[in-house]
Amino acid sequence: MIRFDDVTKTYMRGQHPAVENLDIEFARGEFVFLVGASGSGKSTLMRMVLKEVTPTRGTVYVAGRDLSRIPSWKVPALRRDIGMVFQDFRLLPSKTAYQNIEFALAVIGTPRKVVRRLVPEILEMVGLEDKGKRLPHELSGGEQQRVAIARAYVNRPSILLADEPTGNLDPATAEGILDLLSEINERGTTVVMATHDRSAVDRMSRRVVEMVGGHVVRDEEQGTYETQAPVSVISGHLPDDSALREEGLPEDVEALAAGEVAPENEERADGATASSPAAEEPAASDVLEEDLIDDREAARDLEEYPFDEFDDDIAQDEEAGR
């Protein structure tokens, strides 16, 4: 479904790559957690799937298509098959829950009759069948995220990318969001979720891919958030990832990440060991990656809401129980 073939992405000349020599594949129907410190390359990976950025070297395949061969005018069609969910929801504040979901269908020219069938169905699926007329500020954080998921899934995409979807939610609400994403996955959609939510990863027991300094250093089936492997930053076995982005992975850790066996605490050329404080490089200034961009965000600048002329009809339909 998604494959990275020796992919490297460097944003600025002289800067350490955001991802480097990336070889990984996500199969159709998988549920994968992407974990790692901030700036480890998770967002860049997602941006390349969306074709928001292009690799400096290597090839990205989505649904069997080489993204480098897709012209810019065909990118919107590609993104219609990829749903995107964000930590901060990104709902249209002046539109109701119904209209936020409806908008995702409007921008691709979905017939009104189909819209009137699909939106109530998806609202029911996410447990908000009685909240369609509420504005975002009238909904709780969990309800707003459910609307955002409904908007991302209403087109029934084959891939759903989720960037910290539980980051702003309390634990109980986060569990409900995870259950919803799991249900979507069970319906056949490939779900790739970037997260720092330890409890979510441990509870779900799905595939876990950890990135460090632009490299995949861990790929475990039924993994947990932390690991005993010495290649993990989030488990405290390597220094902060911001330093690694500037300096790159230590050579001995690169060998471990590549699957080569090296003794634990192997001595480095400078006399320090990989796990000793002396092995840590001075922290460099953090280079922040750009925020992910909703593939429909540009449509928000439209002067006219595509379905404004039909809002009264839709309201009447809702009241009539259609």
Q: Summarize pLDDT for 77-111 with one digit per residue, the tens.
A: 898 899 999 889 999 999 999 999 999 999 888 89
Q: Is the pLDDT of residue 127 over 80?
A: yes
Distance CA 308, CA 291 (A): 30
- Asked if residue 38 belongs to a domain, the reply is yes
For residue 170, the surrounding DSSP H or E stretch is none
Strands 215-220 and 207-212: antiparallel
From 194, 96, 208, select the one nearest 150 (Cα to Cα): 96
Q: Is the pLDDT of residue 14 over 90?
A: no
Average pLDDT over residues 105-130: 93
Structure tokens at 116: 């009137």
Which pLDDT band holds residue 266 (cuts at 50, 70, 90)? very low
What's the DSSP call for residue 311?
H
Which pLDDT band holds residue 287 (cuts at 50, 70, 90)? very low
Which pLDDT band holds residue 234 (cuts at 50, 70, 90)? confident
Average pLDDT over residues 205-228: 92
Which pLDDT band holds residue 260 (cuts at 50, 70, 90)? low
- Asked if residue 36 belongs to a domain, the reply is yes
- Asked if residue 42 belongs to a domain, the reply is yes
- Asked if residue 311 belongs to a domain, the reply is no
Task: Write down the pLDDT at residue 241.
Answer: 63
- Asked if residue 202 belongs to a domain, the reply is yes
Q: Is the pLDDT of residue 270 over 50?
A: no
Q: Is the pLDDT of residue 299 over 70?
A: no
What's the angle, vertex CA 125, arms to CA 111 and CA 52, rounded to 5? 65
Mean pLDDT, the chain, whole residue set: 81
CATH code of the domain covering residue 232 = 3.40.50.300
| Radius of gyration over every alpha carbon of the chain, rounded to an integer in angstroms | 21
Percent of the chain with pLDDT over 90: 60
Give the Å distances, CA to CA, from 208 to 27, 194, 223, 232, 315.
13, 10, 5, 12, 44
For residue 98, the surrounding DSSP H or E stretch is helix 97-106
The β-bridge partners of 31 are 191
Cβ atoms of 213 and 245 within 8 Å: the answer is yes
How many domains does one find in the chain?
Answer: 1
- Asked if residue 227 belongs to a domain, the reply is yes
Cβ atoms of 215 and 200 within 8 Å: the answer is no
- Asked if residue 50 belongs to a domain, the reply is yes
- Burial label, 8 (beta-carbon count in 10 A; 0-12, 13-18, 19+): middle
Q: Is the pLDDT of residue 317 over 60?
A: no
Structure tokens at 42: 């998770």
Task: Write down the pLDDT at residue 111.
Answer: 93
Q: What range defines the domain where residue 1 resides? A: 1-81+194-291
Task: Write down the pLDDT at residue 143.
Answer: 96
Average pLDDT over residues 6-26: 92
- Asked if residue 14 belongs to a domain, the reply is yes
